[in-house]
Amino acid sequence: MHSAHGRRVAVLGQGYVGLPLTMRAVEAGFDVVGFDVDKARVDLLARGESFIEDIGPAAVAEAVATGRYRPTCDPGHLQGFDVAVVCVPTPLRDGAPDLTHVEQAARLLSGHLRPGCLVVLESTTYPGTTEEVFRPLLEGGGALRAGRDFRLGYSPERIDPGNPSWHLANTPKIVSGVDEDSLRAVGEFYGRLVDVVVPVPGPREAELAKLLENTFRHVNVALVNELAMYCRAAGVDVWSVLDAAGTKPFGFMRFTPGPGVGGHCLPIDPSYLSWQARRSLGSGFRFVELANDVNDRMPDYVVTRAIQSLNRRRKAVNGSSVLLLGLTYKPNSRDARKSPALAVARQLAALGAELRAVDPLIAPADVPEGITMVPCDDAQLASADLVVVLTDHDAIDWRVVERHAGRVLDTRNRLRAASADGL
């Protein structure tokens, strides 16, 4: 019987979750097949290049050079794995989780199962997916059964793109299994990759823990976003309120308002919880749905504030020159997935604004049509009818912004200039 902690690992999905895991597994001495259905991505990785900010091209090139990393689109290369980890997307479709990629991964792996192997699902999903959806497809019509013949578990990803302090190895890893032997195997595998593993009773607890983490943040961001709108109407400085509340050493955790939420988690993951609550309780998860409502309309609020700023100077949005500072979804990250800054940009463009933008991190392919990328210099700043701070990258020279920008709408509280309106 093959050991579940053998040396041949297959990682399905080579994106923001799968690629860091792949690189860490190669570093730990495993032979890794990195499977992805995107041929362009596989070709790029095979050349020793990277499209993810947390994984530099040198790391990919070094992994390829070891001979122990094979990026591939060929399912045949999954043959003979000891451990398979599924890190594929689980998007929302019409408010419901779309498990198409998870299901396809399970079917691919089902033909390559061997006695004693280990399969782990990492994709964010609703409680019950591992045992009720993933497991039956893995077992298929074959003779091998999870828990009896092979090991099966769930371990939610906790990747935070662009975070300089917390990465795969030093972030505690929740692990679970469909039985005790599976839990042990999952824990032993990740124990070779991360500093701390956190066993939980079963896959449902692990699946729900991930949703709770993101729902907690989503709800609290919505709270301070709504607070910001209230403070504006009441003539109160929301940032002073947050600074004051933040001095309490217990019972309070500071969150900050902004133009909305983005990335691969907050706009999506909490809705899995609400979707399943609707199935099991007959009504959605009310905190999630309220948070969705507040956070989803923050780009609208920013656009309204931009219109008001221009109107006060007798200017229409149509034809006005608007300079956007930062387009990715959060500071110091290249990740533009579901960025609220892009939602603001699209609305302003639809209203006829002449849009320019500064973002030293965003990939050119992620910039929407109709936005001209420009340098952050005195000419660009001074010529804008309105400057809108959407994502406050440290790489932007904020002293230049303060010196040369005229009218500013600052959604991130980055500037101290008197001409800047806060959120």
Residue 95: left if φ>0, alpha if ψ -120 to 50, beta else—which one?
left
- Tell me, yes or no, if 73 is annotated catalytic: no
CB atoms closer than 10 angstroms to residue 252 = 11
Residue 180 CB-half CA count within 13 A: 0
Beta bridge partners of 20: none
Kind of pairing between the strands at 83-86 and 69-72? unpaired
Residue 147: left if φ>0, alpha if ψ -120 to 50, beta else—which one?
left
- Nearest-angstrom CA–CA distance, 411 and 102: 37
**Assigned token pair, 336:** 């533009």
CB atoms closer than 10 angstroms to residue 131 = 17
Complete DSSP assignment for 223-251: HHHHHHHHHHHHT--HHHHHHHHTT-SSS
Whether the CB-CB separation of 147 and 181 falls below 8 Å is answered with yes
**Assigned token pair, 316:** 């229409």
Whether the CB-CB separation of 263 and 163 falls below 8 Å is answered with no
Provide the H-helix boundaries in 67-122.
100-110
Q: Which of 71, 90, 199, 188 is nearest to 134 (CA)?
A: 90
Q: Which of 106, 28, 37 is nearest to 68 (CA)?
A: 28
Whether the CB-CB separation of 25 and 6 falls below 8 Å is answered with no
- Nearest-angstrom CA–CA distance, 319 and 98: 41
**Assigned token pair, 352:** 């006829």
- Nearest-angstrom CA–CA distance, 99 and 84: 18
- Cβ neighbors of 16 (< 8 A, separation 6 or more) are 52, 159, 161, 264, 335
Q: Which of 87, 117, 231, 265 is catalytic?
A: 265
Whether the CB-CB separation of 201 and 176 falls below 8 Å is answered with yes
Q: How long a stretch of residues is the chain? A: 423
Residue 54 CB-half CA count within 13 A: 23
Active site residues: 265
